Structure 1
């Protein structure tokens, strides 16, 4: 094989590696729907800022819809060319402000938060859904989970009292049919608080499933459900 032949072979090999890498970036096993309790987010040393639309409702808000692998790792920032485009979600903005509110400082509308979530996580799900579908599916899944109702129906209320971790898990499992992952944080007094709930979703981004793996980190047997 002459020099030209070797060059063509190497070029084909490079292209093959490149294509394989690109496909791997969009190949994932499931989603985490991550829902956060605003009372716990705000009750930390860093505190929080309410969005420009005002204080959100005392309910679980969306943190994100994150593609994941079964080994616990995850793809991220898969397509630098796919920028967040607010014009694609015009019909969803009012719902996003209510149920996917930003609590970061300084106070803002939320577009910075949604931009981050799309560009880091959403771009890795484009084999399953476009930008509008990504946000719309997350909103629908959050409403279907209806976590606050599931917990309050079991007597678990955001009243600063402490509740058994297993009772929290069981209340959500009974309501949605699948076991959630629970993440906690600490308030300035070092109390462990119910912070985020992870629910696993299939690769279409539409149906709850049993989690292949739960997020890292352990919570104690009793958690405070903070007021908001």
Structure 2
């Protein structure tokens, strides 16, 4: 009997120690002792993320600006140029409005195992046509290869450290759903000029939160500033849906809210745009300038 009492006391002590360890460091307890997936602890991703990811930034670019701007915003556009805002990316940002670095296995941003960019495209088959329309690679929006390259890069740089590291369909579809909710031109008139503040005020009236206005510099008219992107900020949630004021008022070469910026007309033809934009840009898309 004495031996059984000793065993009972020992078992209780072990259980108590295990509970204490779990409360102090549940992640280590689960991963290193039980070898379970973190998702079994909770249905919320917030309990398993190890990044300092604080909010999302949805960046919507105006293709006629992207295709007529100097680098880093400008691209050598060879395909059809959309006459509506298209998605540049859905970016996880930290509390200081800095980009969360791309996934690094040596210092992972998540305890989930992300889908590799090399395996991304099959997950997007259901929304492939919509992605081509609203999230094209403006370097050549008519090229399947270039579009897929762009999506893989956005996934590598941003999606793998989002709330959806192993659910790429949900990541891309969330961005498409957000884009669907807005007036395609934010009630701005192509061909007109505005101050940065006027653009920001027009967007804010429509969406109910302060945007970040990203400017670019025209390669055609020296020193002329253009409206390149409108960036909207969202609270960190699944899916992102609650808008918040963006930390920055503007970015790029704009220096104040009173700077005048042009909202370029869409091109009359894709050939004309290709001639205008020859020789600019990056390998696959405009830079993720923050």
Shift of 1:83: 1.4
- What secondary structure, in the 3-state scheme, does the structure 1 residue paired with 2:170 have? helix
Matched, 1:103 2:145: no
Partner Cα distance (2:122, 2:165) in 1: 20
Aligned pair partner of 2:85 in 60, 64, 69? 60
Aligned pair partner of 1:135 in 168, 172, 182? 172
Q: Which residue does the alignment assign to 2:244?
A: 210
* Alignment gaps of 5+ in structure 1: 1-14
Partner Cα distance (2:140, 2:131) in 1: 18
Q: Which residue does the alignment assign to 2:115?
A: 82
- What secondary structure, in the 3-state scheme, does the structure 1 residue paired with 2:69 have? coil
**Following superposition of structure 1 onto structure 2, how do residues 114-129 of structure 1 map, counting pairs within 5 Å?**
114-126=151-163
Aligned residue pair count: 202
Structure 1 stretches of 4+ with a deviation exceeding 6 A read none
Question: 1:182–1:197: 8 Å Cα contact kept in structure 2?
Answer: yes
Distance 1:193 1:216, change over 3 A: closer
Question: 1:40–1:226: 8 Å Cα contact kept in structure 2?
Answer: yes
Aligned pair partner of 2:204 in 156, 167, 173? 173
Which deviations, in whole Å up to 9, do the C-alpha atoms of 1:42-73 show, x marking residues without a partner?
Answer: 0124542244xxx1430000000000011122
- What secondary structure, in the 3-state scheme, does the structure 2 residue paired with 1:24 have? coil
Matched, 1:144 2:181: yes
Q: Which residue does the alignment assign to 1:10?
A: none
Matched, 1:197 2:219: no
Which of the two has higher C-alpha Rg? 2
Matched, 1:158 2:190: yes
Question: 1:178–1:208: 8 Å Cα contact kept in structure 2?
Answer: no
* Alignment gaps of 5+ in structure 2: 1-26, 33-47, 106-113, 267-290
Distance 1:96 1:119, change over 3 A: same
Shift of 1:207: 1.2
- What secondary structure, in the 3-state scheme, does the structure 2 residue paired with 1:29 have? strand
Partner Cα distance (1:38, 1:106) in 2: 10
Shift of 1:181: 0.4
Question: 2:57–2:91: 8 Å Cα contact kept in structure 1?
Answer: yes
Distance 1:86 1:216, change over 3 A: same
Partner Cα distance (2:127, 2:164) in 1: 21
Partner Cα distance (1:82, 1:123) in 2: 7
Distance 1:37 1:111, change over 3 A: same
Partner Cα distance (1:79, 1:87) in 2: 23
Partner Cα distance (2:102, 2:199) in 1: 33
